Amino acid sequence: MKQIPAVVYIIVMVLIAVGTIILYKALQPLNIEKIALHYLPENRLRVRVDVSTNKSSAVQVKYWLDGGRDTLWSDRYPDGAEQTIILYNLLPDRQYAYQVKAQRGSHTDWSKVYAIKTKSIYHTTPYFTLDSIADSLREDMQSRHFLTQILTEPGAAVIINGLGDMVWYEPFAKGVKVSSWTPDRTVLCIVGSEDIPSSGGDEIVEVNLKGEYLKHFKVGEGDMDKLVHHEVRKDTEGNIYAITFDRKVFDLSAVGGGHSDTVKADGIVVFNPQGKKIWEWSVLDHLDVLHYPTILKDKDDLVHANALYDDGKGYFLLSFRDLNQVWKINKTTGEVVWKFGQQGDFPMQEADFFFAQHYTHMNRNGELMLLDNGIKRKQSRTLSFKLNESTKQYRRMLEINYPPAFFSSVKGNSALLGEDKVLTCLTDPRLFLLSDYAGNLLWKVSVGGDPYRIEEVPLLTSMKDE
């Protein structure tokens, strides 16, 4: 009988051993082998959980506040044997419990229950103080969350709950001039130093709730060649649009100016998801500057755009504070379709004029809604209008007048919340308010700084075990 060479024998034995090990592991049940909790010094409302499993598996963390009612879930992390999970939506200086779930096909393993102790936030002001809340609303507001921002340096995008507790923040060295919530569950920010005026910035940042930068556009890099201000949002195709500062040189000698005067005003820019500029518009192409009554006085900040809204039907709504008007603009041609407001295309009753308005948008009822800062009346109010664009007629649908003590000359916003309530930010008195349609005050939060806006965001309490 022919003898098997030693080398072949060794190879066969190694293959048998490896196959045995593979078979043994395959027959072993799914098991969470190691869990390590890490507190993140750069952000006290996030913690990192490192998870190791004996097999590649999807991992998710369930966590809850001691004595709380809500069970929260992390994002679900896809198959892997080593996973790093970020937990957020945590209150400062609280005790939590958490449990890890690993799943591979129909097989599931749960860890023991472990503890998390969050720390107090020693930076990222301002504070938020719940001044009042209607008893009938307390339970509902506990599960609601709101995005706002810190304008000063250092700045931050901030999410608070309905009781005024901060549950998420992303700090920046510069101020966050405005922020918005996207359909992708991310936060878009205009970031800029305090010496950039008019809520302006030189950066656009998209950050997810785990603190990861998904997009970061900077003036002077790529296609971002102008400062942006007052507005940054995503459209339904994932493009990012914003208001820009624009300038052009005009001969103003006929009205007492120079032959080559620079007029500064506003425009619109749209970037695709990769940061490529795909559309641009300037108000200076649609104004007769020589017949603008205060051109010499206002040439450094003409008309002052302060809100931009994509209606999802091929048009932008652009608000001009100094015109007391809202313009509808064709997103393809740039044509101005109509102007609504003082001296606009819709004949209006004097009582319906709005002054220095902010946050013009179409609400879910198909109404043009805005915060009328009311600088001429020295009283701020929320308004909404139903427009008949073909006949140039309108009907006022909503009016909520705020007390004179709540007057805000600048910034702010109003939007519908739920079925019959209005959420409002008033910057000068540093207040967040919730009112019913009759104007009854249901919720009030004082802010230890100047907020620009507040908007409701769906956070983790709406997420389910996957």
Identify the structural domains of the chain with CATH numbers, from first to last.
32-117 (2.60.40.10), 128-459 (2.120.10.30)
Q: How far apart are CA 401 and CA 76, in angstroms?
A: 45
Is residue 27 over pLDDT 80? no
Is residue 14 over pLDDT 60? yes
Q: What is the 3-state secondary structure (H, E, C) of 114-168?
A: EEEECCCCCCCCCCEEEEEECHHHHHHHHCCEEEEEECCCCEEEEEEECCCCEEE
- What pLDDT sits at residue 462? 39
Q: What is the pLDDT of residues 314-343, one digit of tens each?
A: 999 999 999 999 999 999 999 999 999 999
Q: What is the pLDDT of residues 164-174, one digit of tens each?
A: 999 999 999 99
pLDDT band per the 50, 70, 90 thresholds, residue 28: confident
- What pLDDT sits at residue 79? 84
- What pLDDT sits at residue 463? 43
Is residue 61 over pLDDT 60? yes
Q: What is the pLDDT of residues 203-222, one digit of tens each?
A: 999 999 999 999 999 999 99
Alpha-carbon separation of residue 189 from 128, 150, 232, 234, 268 (angstroms): 20, 11, 7, 11, 16
Alpha-carbon separation of residue 115 from 68, 82, 97, 269 (angstroms): 14, 21, 4, 47
Global confidence as pTM:
0.89
Q: What is the pLDDT of residues 183-193, one digit of tens each?
A: 999 999 999 99
- The stretch 388-414 carries a mean pLDDT of 98
397: exposed, middle or buried (Cβ count in 10 Å: 0-12, 13-18, 19+): middle
Whether omega before 293 lies within 30 degrees of 0, making that bond cis, reads no
Q: What is the pLDDT of residues 98-129, one digit of tens each?
A: 999 999 998 999 999 999 999 988 655 578 99
Q: What is the pLDDT of residues 141-179, one digit of tens each?
A: 988 999 999 888 889 999 999 999 999 999 999 999 999
- What pLDDT sits at residue 207? 97
Q: What is the pLDDT of residues 242-286, one digit of tens each?
A: 999 999 999 999 999 999 999 999 999 999 999 999 999 999 999
